[in-house]
Protein backbone atom coordinates (compact mmCIF):
# COMPACT_ATOMS: atom_id res chain seq x y z
CA UNK A 1 0.00 0.00 0.00
CA UNK A 2 2.86 2.37 0.90
CA UNK A 3 4.51 1.59 -2.40
CA UNK A 4 1.45 2.90 -4.22
CA UNK A 5 1.79 6.34 -2.69
CA UNK A 6 4.93 7.44 -4.57
CA UNK A 7 3.47 6.03 -7.78
CA UNK A 8 0.23 7.92 -7.23
CA UNK A 9 2.18 11.11 -6.46
CA UNK A 10 4.23 10.64 -9.62
CA UNK A 11 1.11 10.12 -11.72
CA UNK A 12 -0.81 13.03 -10.21
CA UNK A 13 1.94 15.66 -10.31
CA UNK A 14 2.31 17.58 -13.54
CA UNK A 15 4.69 20.07 -15.07
CA UNK A 16 3.12 23.38 -16.02
CA UNK A 17 4.14 25.27 -19.11
CA UNK A 18 3.05 28.84 -19.66
CA UNK A 19 2.12 29.12 -23.32
CA UNK A 20 0.93 32.72 -23.62
CA UNK A 21 0.11 35.80 -21.56
CA UNK A 22 -1.70 38.97 -22.55
CA UNK A 23 -2.80 42.09 -20.67
CA UNK A 24 -5.01 44.96 -21.76
CA UNK A 25 -5.02 48.54 -20.41
CA UNK A 26 -5.55 48.65 -16.65
CA UNK A 27 -8.25 51.10 -15.46
CA UNK A 28 -7.73 53.69 -12.73
CA UNK A 29 -10.91 52.52 -10.99
CA UNK A 30 -10.22 48.98 -9.77
CA UNK A 31 -13.03 48.30 -7.33
CA UNK A 32 -14.32 44.91 -8.47
CA UNK A 33 -12.06 42.08 -9.53
CA UNK A 34 -13.53 39.26 -11.60
CA UNK A 35 -12.03 35.96 -12.73
CA UNK A 36 -12.89 33.18 -15.14
CA UNK A 37 -11.16 29.89 -15.82
CA UNK A 38 -11.68 26.99 -18.19
CA UNK A 39 -9.83 23.68 -18.17
CA UNK A 40 -9.82 20.80 -20.55
CA UNK A 41 -8.30 17.35 -20.07
CA UNK A 42 -6.68 15.85 -23.12
CA UNK A 43 -5.87 12.16 -23.42
CA UNK A 44 -2.75 11.20 -25.40
CA UNK A 45 -2.84 14.53 -27.23
CA UNK A 46 -6.20 13.84 -28.91
CA UNK A 47 -7.89 17.22 -28.87
CA UNK A 48 -10.32 18.05 -31.63
CA UNK A 49 -11.54 21.51 -30.68
CA UNK A 50 -10.65 24.48 -28.48
CA UNK A 51 -14.15 25.85 -27.96
CA UNK A 52 -13.73 25.97 -24.19
CA UNK A 53 -11.59 29.10 -24.66
CA UNK A 54 -14.50 31.22 -25.86
CA UNK A 55 -16.44 30.43 -22.67
CA UNK A 56 -13.94 32.51 -20.67
CA UNK A 57 -15.07 35.83 -22.19
CA UNK A 58 -18.72 34.85 -21.77
CA UNK A 59 -18.05 34.01 -18.12
CA UNK A 60 -16.43 37.42 -17.54
CA UNK A 61 -19.48 39.09 -19.09
CA UNK A 62 -21.80 37.20 -16.76
CA UNK A 63 -19.86 38.49 -13.75
CA UNK A 64 -20.03 42.09 -14.92
CA UNK A 65 -23.50 42.76 -16.33
CA UNK A 66 -23.87 46.24 -17.81
CA UNK A 67 -20.29 47.12 -16.88
CA UNK A 68 -16.95 47.71 -18.51
CA UNK A 69 -14.43 44.87 -18.30
CA UNK A 70 -10.84 46.06 -18.59
CA UNK A 71 -7.35 45.22 -17.38
CA UNK A 72 -7.85 41.70 -18.70
CA UNK A 73 -4.90 39.44 -17.83
CA UNK A 74 -5.17 36.19 -19.77
CA UNK A 75 -2.91 33.19 -19.17
CA UNK A 76 -2.83 30.04 -21.25
CA UNK A 77 -1.09 27.11 -19.55
CA UNK A 78 -0.55 23.45 -20.27
CA UNK A 79 -0.12 20.92 -17.47
CA UNK A 80 1.62 17.75 -18.59
CA UNK A 81 1.15 14.68 -16.43
CA UNK A 82 3.33 11.57 -16.31
CA UNK A 83 4.65 10.54 -19.73
CA UNK A 84 2.25 12.96 -21.48
CA UNK A 85 -0.57 10.44 -21.20
CA UNK A 86 -2.84 13.15 -19.83
CA UNK A 87 -2.57 16.87 -20.55
CA UNK A 88 -4.58 19.67 -19.10
CA UNK A 89 -5.11 22.89 -20.96
CA UNK A 90 -6.04 25.83 -18.76
CA UNK A 91 -7.06 29.35 -19.73
CA UNK A 92 -7.35 31.82 -16.84
CA UNK A 93 -8.55 35.37 -17.14
CA UNK A 94 -8.57 38.07 -14.46
CA UNK A 95 -10.08 41.51 -15.03
CA UNK A 96 -11.62 44.55 -13.42
CA UNK A 97 -15.28 45.42 -13.72
CA UNK A 98 -16.22 49.06 -13.65
CA UNK A 99 -19.32 51.08 -14.38
CA UNK A 100 -22.86 50.28 -13.39
CA UNK A 101 -22.22 46.67 -12.37
CA UNK A 102 -19.26 47.59 -10.18
CA UNK A 103 -21.30 50.31 -8.46
CA UNK A 104 -24.10 47.83 -7.74
CA UNK A 105 -21.79 45.11 -6.49
CA UNK A 106 -19.37 47.26 -4.50
CA UNK A 107 -19.23 46.59 -0.78
CA UNK A 108 -17.41 48.25 2.11
CA UNK A 109 -13.91 46.87 1.98
CA UNK A 110 -11.82 45.93 4.99
CA UNK A 111 -8.11 46.76 4.74
CA UNK A 112 -7.27 43.10 5.46
CA UNK A 113 -9.57 41.73 2.76
CA UNK A 114 -7.61 39.21 0.63
CA UNK A 115 -9.52 39.68 -2.58
CA UNK A 116 -9.27 43.46 -2.67
CA UNK A 117 -6.88 45.07 -5.12
CA UNK A 118 -3.78 46.30 -3.30
CA UNK A 119 -3.31 49.54 -5.21
CA UNK A 120 -6.94 50.57 -5.55
CA UNK A 121 -7.43 54.23 -6.25
CA UNK A 122 -4.10 54.89 -7.93
CA UNK A 123 -4.39 57.12 -10.93
CA UNK A 124 -2.47 55.81 -13.90
Interacting residues toward another protein by CB under 8 A: 19-20, 22, 24-25, 45-50, 53-54, 56-57, 60-61, 64-70, 72, 74, 76, 89, 91, 93, 99-101
Q: How far is the CB of 3 from another protein (least distance, A)?
A: 35
Indicate the residue among 30 and 60 with the shorter CB distance to another protein.
60
Residue 53 or 79: the one with the smaller Cβ distance to another protein is 53
Q: Is 118 helix (H, G, I), strand (E, B) or coil?
A: coil
Region of 66 on the Ramachandran plot (φ > 0 left; ψ -120 to 50 alpha; else beta): left
Closest by CA position to 67, among listed 36, 27, 25, 96: 96
Amino acid sequence: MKALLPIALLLLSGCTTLRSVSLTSVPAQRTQRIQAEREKFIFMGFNFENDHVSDVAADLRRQCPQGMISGVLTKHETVNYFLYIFWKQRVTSEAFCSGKAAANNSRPRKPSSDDAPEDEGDVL
